Structure 1
Amino acid sequence: MASELQRRKIGVVFTGMDADGDGFLEESDFRALAARWSAVRVAGDPERLAAIMLGWWATLLAASDVNRDGKVTVDEVLTVVDRLPGMREAVTATADAMFEAVDENADDLVSPGEYGRMIEAWSGKAPGPEVFARLDTDGDGSLSRAEFADLWFEFWAGDDADAPGTQIFGPLAA
């Protein structure tokens, strides 16, 4: 059963993805997220971003749409989260796809600006520099693919409020 922290984390992501606010995730929500994200990006291929987001939607739908109605509720997402700690390879595979989406200039690093634009697309506001500094665990000013995968796994499968990955989608509301 998902902890309160996991519910809060998933709630942040779910709210960011639920473009029409109807309490369900559908393909149209992922298309809307890709469009919002493309609108704030300074580089990168919008079609590739849309393909990544729709791939994430297909994966989420297959894994969590328990009643097969073509919609995903937050509770359905949480049933998947309970299984993720033992699925590191599957979780980091989604991290790799998301890394490609965030890395606008394809330099194999995520800069503070690239990260900020991702969060702006999800939440409508860019995070402060202190959030990226917390994520940048080696302090080199960027996130490598490996760092991003570790943070992504911490977010989706972890249950530690103090872990840097807890904030990969921005700060959690108290």
Structure 2
Amino acid sequence: MLGAMASDFQRRKISGVFGAMDADGDGFLTEADFGALTARWLDLRGTDAGTPAGEKLAAIMMGWWGTLDDAAGRGGKVGLDQVLEVVDVLPAMPEAVTGTAEAMFEAVDENGDGVISAAEYDRMIAAWNGVGTPSGDVFALLDSDGDGRLSREEFTRHWFEFWAGDDPAAPGSSVFGRF
């Protein structure tokens, strides 16, 4: 095992996202799970993969699946322990984390205005968690400058805190809602 073992806190927060992404509940993430997540997100936006925005979202999400599958050894299915092994090495690979943050920012910023609104953020949370999760308080926590929107820098910092951090008090620990 590379690096330190995931802490109980990291295991809890990653398990929450993993469970939400495991659409068929088989205990593994697969290409089909990422397809289901993408379809759910497009549906919440009221569009489909045939539109330019839908095509972009689908490309980002399915690209993320490819990256995760590669990192876990290209087995076509990725278990929670494999995800946690990847998470263990992320602090030493900040560029990999900020790269996925950039892609996710593009996916969440539906209207392409360079910021994420509370409504755009709510749709991301609902898509990832599969249920509408009250996210107003979380959005306010993430909006560190209080301007009512998330800048690319705010989003990237919080994305890194979620995936590579181990601080329950860090705002980014709640980027996918509270677990």
Q: What TM-score, normalized by structure 1, do the two folds share?
A: 0.94
Q: Which moved more, 1:39-48 or 1:109-118?
A: 39-48
TM-score normalised per structure 2: 0.92
Letter in structure 2 aligned against 1:85: P
Q: Secondary structure at the match of 1:61?
A: helix
Match of 2:162 in 1: 155
Please list every run of at least 4 consecutive aligned residues from structure 1 whose deviation after the TM superposition is greater than 3 angstroms: none
CA distance in 2, matches of 1:3, 1:37: 30
Query: Match of 1:86?
Result: 92
Matched, 1:75 2:96: no
For residue 167 of structure 1, what is the aligned residue in structure 2?
174
Q: Percent identity?
A: 62
Q: CA RMSD in A?
A: 1.2
User: How far apart, in 1, do the equivalents of 2:84 and 2:36 lie?
Assistant: 22
Deviations 1:4-40 (A, max 9, x none): 1100111111112111111011001001000000111
Trace 1:10-159 onto structure 2 (pairs within 5 A).
10-41=14-45, 45-65=53-73, 68-123=74-129, 124-159=131-166
In structure 1, list runs of 5 or more residues that go unmatched. none
**Aligned equivalents of 1:8, 1:138: Cα separation in 2:** 28
Partners of 2:62 and 2:7 lie apart in 1 by: 28
Q: Which runs of 5+ in 2 are unaligned?
A: none
Figure out how many residues of one structure are paired with residues of the other and give that number: 170
What amino acid sits opposite 1:152 in the alignment? W
Distance 1:128 1:148 in 2: 15
Per-residue deviation, 1:42: 5.3
Conserved in 1, the CA contact under 8 Å of 2:69 and 2:75?
A: no
In 1, the alpha carbon distance for the partners of 2:133 and 2:91 equals 29
